[in-house]
Each structure stands twice: as structure tokens, then as C-alpha cells.
Structure 1
């Protein structure tokens, strides 16, 4: 059996390890932290259990496909709740929020009620989003781009003029031709943040994201994303993976141009026939490999755009918070300046930030003590590990939520509080520039322009995770694990791996 070492115990590493074990590999997974999960970790305090990162369950078919490859199903592994409404949005200067509904027709009616006549344009927008999403799944998301021949299919060639337009115009430009109301434009542009980017930088190809929330809807896995990670980790272990935590890797060992194992920070050497790093790609390339073995050296990263950093607040709040939905967004009116502060040089904190709030305790009573709410807040900030004054910034964010959502006593009701910033992402997750997500999905950092999943300098060294193809987000990380299997099989097809007949 081939001995494979997988570096990193986030969702990408766990999924990669599990799939490779089912392929017949003997797999050892090495995780730096005391527990697995990576960005999708957990923090517990005084009866509160906080998911430390991802909180949106989108693209459910990708999760189900992965579970099927592992011999089970999402239905067997998870209890999913469809959120109704999908999310609530507060806008600067507007007291009344907008609630995004469940399903396409309800949201078309919502948009038309806010901007009469927009319903018909939105129907065309969502038709395009659905078509682009299906095209992406069929031809791009599951491709290793080892060969471009499979992309030269009739369906791609017929749509190439449209695909080129979608790549060359920004998401904001496309959205602004569909709706005029600034609030609706922001709802259509916000998915860029899921991609670690800005609606002014993200190609309009990614309007496909609106199909996910406005048509398919938003789900929550009971037990939180911690529970999701636990299930994937257990499936990997059941498949035979050896998981070692508190085992930080110092370097990848290379002999005659081939990966032959890893060396831990403790000095322990672990031999391997294959190494897959799901750690931050910048850290992997510039810290774990010698310069002559680097496919993506520092000069590569110097010309790349990092996704935003994040100011995270984990708040345990006494009493109920009906003003907040499971997902709640606060949008500043001057969005261009808001994103410019984060992405333009020199970077700075936005004067009035836009931010995201998750309140899972409204659906899941196990994440907070009785009579309390679990509140997670994410504020996009510059990817700058040196960002300081985090506690003072957190105070301002709490005051903003209190004002916009009409919760005047919010600060006084907080009984648990933890603040995390870009410096913590850099030190804890080895994140490039302290980015919360990875390289932004700009044109030069999307699809086949994004870092590939195989080293061009070292044989037997592959990559998975948000830094490489296909990109950012839990579903993309699961797909990246599958792309490792496809690469090893020599499978250059553009679709998902065939599901085993007896999987269900």
C-alpha cells in the first residue's frame, strides 16, 4: 500500500485523507493544532459552543456527492434545516431590513416589491445564474486542468461569447444592469465576499452564487459545522486514516526531485511515497520547501491579491435577540469605499464597516445555555496581521449592531466575549497575510488561472484546499480533495468522480 502523508486537518485534509484511504492508500494525517477542523474549528466557553469560521451551508449536492464517495450520504450523516427566511439584511440609513425569502418565486416577488419592474430582469438574472452554475459544475469546478481538451465541448464552445463577457465584466457591473435600487445591488454583489473578493474585482461569472441563496436556499447542519467536521473526520478514521494532532510539519523532504516524506517541528521524520499538503499554499511553498523546489515562490505571491482578513467576535449574550436572524448582514451605504479600504493600497479599516452576524442558537439550542444566544460576528478587514486595537474595534462593531438592529442594551448583555483578528489567522493557521479565506477570486486567480493542485518541481507532491483549485468555501474544499484523486488516477474529465453503485 502506498503510504501517503496529508498535511493539515481542515475539511480539505480530512476529505482528501478519507478519499485516498478508500482508494487503497495507507494515510497519515498531520494537524498542527490540538484538534482537527482548521478554519472550521470550535471554541467552547461557559456552555457556549462557537463554530470558529464557516457558517453558510450552500451547494448541498456537493456535500452529498462527497458523502456518497465515502459510502454514505448527507441524509445519513447530517440533520439539515432549511432556513426561513434565508437571511436578513440591515442597510445604513434604513430602519427596516430586507428579508431574503425561501425559493426563486418568493424572491422575485420580493425584488419586484422593492423595485417595481425588476422581477422580470431578476428572472433572467437567475436563469443565467442557474445555467452558469450548472456549466461550472459540469466543466470547470471538477477539472484539474491537466488537459484542456475535455473543455473543448460543444456546450462550452457555444457559450464561449457569453463566458468571455462574464469573465471580463465585474459582478457589480452585471448586478447594476439588473437592478437599480442600491440595496438590491448589494444583495446581488455580496456573494463576492464568500469568494474572498470584492464585487468590483470579482468576475460576473460568479453571479452563479445568487442561484445558491435566492433559488436553492440556505441550510444549517444541526450541531453546527463542528458536527460536520466531526462526521467527516470519523469517516476518514473509519476508512483507515491515522490522525495525529499537535504534529506541526516543519518541512517536506525531497530527494532527487521526489517527495519522500516530512519532518515535524519536533525533528521526527515520517517517510512517505506521496505527500499532499492542504495547509496554506503560501506557507507550504515558501516555508516547507527549499527555493529550488518551489512552484509558487514568494515572487508569485507578491503579484497576487489576498482575500480580506477578518475581525471575528464570539459573543455569548443573555436573553433573546429576535432582531437577528440565523444569518444577518449589515451593509454600509458607501460600498465602493468600504471595499476599497480593504483591497486598495494602502489598506485601512473602513470607516463604517459592512459585517455579517450568525445566530445559530435560534435554530440549534445546543450551542448556548438556556436563556442565552450564541452570536458570531465577522467583519471583513484588510489582510494585515499587524492590525491592532482589535478590542476597541470590537466595541465599535457591537455599538453598530446595537444601533442598526435596535438592540440598545446589547453590550450590557454580553457574558462571553472573544475577539480574533488577522494576526491570529497567521499564527494559528499559517494564513498568507492573515487572510481569513485565501487568495481572492479575481480573474487572474480563478479557474485555470488559480494555483494548480500538483507541484511542477517535486514529484509526488500535491495540493488541496482553498489556496488552490477550485477555490474558496467548504464545497470547493471538498471538490479539491476529489481533484487529488482525479490527478492520481490520471482522470482529466471535467465532471465529478463516478459514485459507487452500492454507495446508498
Structure 2
């Protein structure tokens, strides 16, 4: 029999977490309305079309394929029914700086552990065996994380008491208290090998010196599991989730801003855990200026946690106040360059990483508050036209260039969304293009750019209410990981929940999908560790 919705849910935001939450809540029998301030779906995982070019404007590394497979299985579907994946080999090309006055050394990093171990051994005798040991530890840690710590709300001690955890408890404690930088540098001496195993800290909006070494599990995702490219980029992944939500009758309101999470007061009980109010819906404002109150039984905010707490709730109902955020690390800001280039660029692969030899100064530029307007010299470049010819007109290449900067609003806007491009953003973009041209050996790169759009920290703040214009989410330091990252439910407002990159379990599209599932577990009072059984709703088949 079909499910008859009996409760109303409002989801704030149609990014990855919002779409996933809407689809899963619909499976649970809720009548779902998603309110999105922008013109379309995807949030940071959006796309931009201009003069025959199509760019993903956010995430571009398809990692943790098992998280996507599990999510679509919950919906009674499968990844292969939703979009095609192409495995990238090499996983990426590393441009390693040995002498700043010369072009960088090109290193093709394979997702084949054996091939990569051979390279490590050729650079540093004994490093091949050490890489195998590193990857074995990464794989074990990854499996424990998935089984015990990612798909949980930390409402029970049971995940910590499992024999897998207890047996490795002393190792896990060390992995939590030792930095990724320290772990990798103890094992390897060559700066290139260290960078290959340390750079995933940037995926976590952190730096190797501050990311706990438990995150060496990321090497399992890019080296062991491999790197893939979804057809139509991450916009295609977002469309697949959106279809499931629509086909389960979720309603979407675009170009609509949430002004307030509405509540009504509750009689305070005698215990300190009694909540002060109950969520009743949201007050929205449409593009035409009209306002409306939408009623709901539950509200799930997938907006930035800082925005939710400081802008959508009155002060006395905030679980996280200004003092809390003053002690938090907002993570990485970015300047993004979307470039269309005439002719081919054989010097570049699909994914390309440009690293300075001493990249500590690069991380200082990103994470030191006094480094205003200073950009990292370590840059990421994606060339999706290497794999997908449809993202650029014939005879052209498509480049997505990401330059890490500090999360500071006054770096300004880019021009991708109609704002005037700030001098700082333009300067950072021009310098990055010049640096890529030099290190990759493409001296005429800038003269071949026929289209260029930019995105700055202020754009992330305006479009996504991102705290301080951060592009990824709060950094995964020890104090901002696992149960230290914050709860996915309001401590003061009943029936108000959180999902997305700014809450547990963390940043990245896979984590956003998991955060949506954790909301379902919270609603079910499910204190188990590990993913839910598939499918979530046996009565529904793939749509």
C-alpha cells in the first residue's frame, strides 16, 4: 500500500544534505517541503553554464563510492541506475616543486597500490613497504569509522564498546592525539611522498599539522578505492537525488529565503534537559517580497550551522552562541577560477595538484588570521574536459582552479554570479594562472583563456550563508571531529534537527549523505552504529 504522509517536514536548503534529507524523509512517510534561497539545486555542488562551457562550481573528487552506493540502495536504487562512473587512471597528476625557478616535476599518482609503492620505493628505499603498511592501517581505520563512528549520533556508548574498537583502542587514541603531519613525517622523508599522503587534510578543510592522524584513512579512499568521475559531474549526482525526492512528492520552493525558524514556548520541566520551545515551521520570504509562514511538525536545517543558530533563532533558543563560534576554526576559504581555454592542454590530467616544496607557508596563508589577502601557492586544478568532452565546446578545454585562502569576507566577490569582481580576487586568480603556466610548462596559458569567471569568499557567504565565506566547512581538527563536532539536534528547540557539512559527521558530499541518514536515525531513536538496512522503504522501488 502507498504511504500516506501523516507529518510535515520542512528542509532548509537544497544542497547535497538537503536533497538527501528530503528523499529519505519522504521514504519515512513525511510530507516534505524544501526551501532553497537560490535558483536551483546543489548548493555548493552546483554548476554554471556560459558560452558553451559547463563547470561544476564545487566538489569534484568522487571518493568513498560505498557511501553513494549505500545511499541509493536505501532508496531502492543503485548507482549504476542513476549515473555512470569512469575510473580515473592516474588518480591525479602531482606537480611537485623542487626548484621554484624551474617547471615542476610531474608525478602521475596511481590508484593501484602496487604501482604507487614502486614509485615510493624508487624515490626512497624502504618507502614501498612503509606505504603498504600505511594503506593497511588506513583501510582498517576506514572500516572501523564506517561501521562504528560515521553513521551514529553518539547518543550511546555502544559504538565505543564493540570489540573492534576495544581491540584497537590504544591505537585509536594515538591516531586521535597525533597529527597527520607527524604520522606521515615519521614514516617518510621525501617531501613528495609526504605530500601525497598528507594533502587529503585539505579535503577536510584542515591542515596536516592540525588534522588528527586518524584521517590517514583518506588514503584508503583515493589510493585503494580509487578516484572516479560521475557523468555530468557532481551536478549529475545532485540531479539523481533530486529526482528521487520529486518522485516521492517532495515539494521545492526556489528563490525563497528562510527568515526565521518559528517556535512556540513549552512549559519548562524540572530537569535540565527539558527543551524551551518546539519548532512549528519557518517564516519565508519570496523573491517578490511576500512573506508566508509554513507550518511543520519537524524542521531540518541543512543551512550552515552558524547561520541557523545566529540568524534563524532568537538568542535564548540558540544551542551554539557567539562564544562557541569564536572558539571554532571555520576551515578553508577559496578563490575559484572557472576558465575556458582555446586548444588542448596535454600537460594536465583530470585532477592536478600543484604543491610548493615547503607548503607550510601555504597553510599559514590559509589558517593565520593576519594573512589577509594572501593566497596559497599550492593549487588544485581540475580539467574535466580530459574525461568528458561535453563540458567544453570543440577545440577547447575546461578548467576549474581552486586557490585556498583564509576564510575572510573582505577578500570579496568574484564575477560568476553578477557581482563586481574584487581587486583581491582578481589578483589571486591572475597569480594562480601565472603559477600554473610556469609549473606545468604552458607559457601561453593566460593568452588562450577565452572565458573566465571567478568566485570569492563573499560569494560563498551570499549564496550559501557560509560562515566567514568558508567554502568547505569547519576544519576537522580534534576539537571539531566526531562527537566534538556538535550535535545534529537542537538542545533547546524540540523537533529541530541539523544536517550538512557543518554538523556531524563532517565535510564532503559523502558526509552530507550520511548526515541525512543520521537525521533519520535520530527521528527513529536508533542508537545503533553503522548504516541503516537497505532499502529504507521496502514498499518503494527505484523511481
Q: Shorter-chain TM-score: which interval?
A: over 0.9
Secondary structure (helix, strand or coil) at the match of 1:137 reads helix
Equivalent residues of 1:144, 1:483 under 8 A apart: yes
Equivalent residues of 2:206, 2:332 under 8 A apart: yes
Question: What does residue 365 of structure 2 align with?
Answer: 341
Measure the CA separation in 2 of the matches of 1:463 and 1:163.
27
Are 2:427 and 1:403 equivalent residues in the alignment?
no
Question: What does residue 9 of structure 2 align with?
Answer: 4
Determine which of 485, 490, 500 is the counterpart of 2:525: 490
Are 2:312 and 1:312 equivalent residues in the alignment?
no
Task: Report the CA distance between 1:294 and its aligned residue.
Answer: 0.4
Measure the CA separation in 1 of the matches of 2:487 and 2:391.
38
Determine which of 247, 251, 255 is the counterpart of 1:242: 251
TM-score with structure 1 setting the length: 0.98
TM-score with structure 2 setting the length: 0.91
Are 2:488 and 1:453 equivalent residues in the alignment?
yes
Are 2:264 and 1:264 equivalent residues in the alignment?
no
Post-superposition CA distance 1:87-106 (Å, at most 9, x none): 00112235321111132111
Question: What does residue 19 of structure 2 align with?
Answer: 14
Alpha-carbon RMSD? 1.2
Gaps of at least 5 residues in structure 1 are none
State which drifts further: 98-107 or 26-35: 98-107
Task: Report the CA distance between 1:344 and its aligned residue.
Answer: 2.3
Are 2:393 and 1:369 equivalent residues in the alignment?
yes
Are 2:466 and 1:466 equivalent residues in the alignment?
no
Question: What does residue 84 of structure 1 align with?
Answer: 89
Equivalent residues of 1:425, 1:435 under 8 A apart: yes
Question: What does residue 160 of structure 1 align with?
Answer: 169
Post-superposition CA distance 1:148-194 (Å, at most 9, x none): 23321111111110001001110010011121101110111100000
Question: What does residue 421 of structure 2 align with?
Answer: none
Gaps of at least 5 residues in structure 2 are 1-5, 266-276, 413-423
Question: What does residue 427 of structure 1 align with?
Answer: 462
Measure the CA separation in 1 of the matches of 2:374 and 2:128.
33
Question: What does residue 48 of structure 2 align with?
Answer: 43
Are 2:326 and 1:326 equivalent residues in the alignment?
no
Determine which of 182, 196, 200 is the counterpart of 1:187: 196
Measure the CA separation in 1 of the matches of 2:510 and 2:121.
31
Judged with a 3 Å threshold, the aligned counterparts in structure 2 of structure 1 residues 352 and 30 are, in CA distance, closer, same or farther, namely closer
Judged with a 3 Å threshold, the aligned counterparts in structure 2 of structure 1 residues 89 and 376 are, in CA distance, closer, same or farther, namely same
State which drifts further: 493-502 or 134-143: 493-502
Equivalent residues of 1:151, 1:494 under 8 A apart: no
Equivalent residues of 2:159, 2:528 under 8 A apart: yes
Equivalent residues of 2:158, 2:528 under 8 A apart: no
Question: What does residue 142 of structure 2 align with?
Answer: 133
Question: What does residue 76 of structure 2 align with?
Answer: 71
Question: What does residue 174 of structure 1 align with?
Answer: 183
Measure the CA separation in 1 of the matches of 2:369 and 2:236.
39
State which drifts further: 246-255 or 86-95: 86-95
Post-superposition CA distance 1:33-88 (Å, at most 9, x none): 01111000111100001100000000001001000111110011010000011000
Task: Report the CA distance between 1:11 and its aligned residue.
Answer: 0.6
Measure the CA separation in 2 of the matches of 1:377 and 1:351.
13
Task: Report the CA distance between 1:299 and its aligned residue.
Answer: 1.2
Question: What does residue 217 of structure 2 align with?
Answer: 208
Secondary structure (helix, strand or coil) at the match of 1:398 reads helix
Equivalent residues of 2:411, 2:425 under 8 A apart: yes
Determine which of 21, 28, 41 is the counterpart of 1:23: 28
Judged with a 3 Å threshold, the aligned counterparts in structure 2 of structure 1 residues 352 and 205 are, in CA distance, closer, same or farther, namely closer
Equivalent residues of 1:6, 1:278 under 8 A apart: yes
Aligned pairs for 1:475-486 within 5 A: 475-486=510-521
Determine which of 303, 315, 338 is the counterpart of 1:279: 303
Are 2:390 and 1:355 equivalent residues in the alignment?
no
Judged with a 3 Å threshold, the aligned counterparts in structure 2 of structure 1 residues 465 and 246 are, in CA distance, closer, same or farther, namely same
Measure the CA separation in 2 of the matches of 1:384 and 1:334.
24
Equivalent residues of 2:9, 2:30 under 8 A apart: yes
Measure the CA separation in 2 of the matches of 1:318 and 1:262.
48
For these two proteins, the number of residue pairs brought into alignment is 504
Equivalent residues of 1:332, 1:352 under 8 A apart: no
Judged with a 3 Å threshold, the aligned counterparts in structure 2 of structure 1 residues 147 and 375 are, in CA distance, closer, same or farther, namely same
Determine which of 242, 248, 260 is the counterpart of 1:251: 260
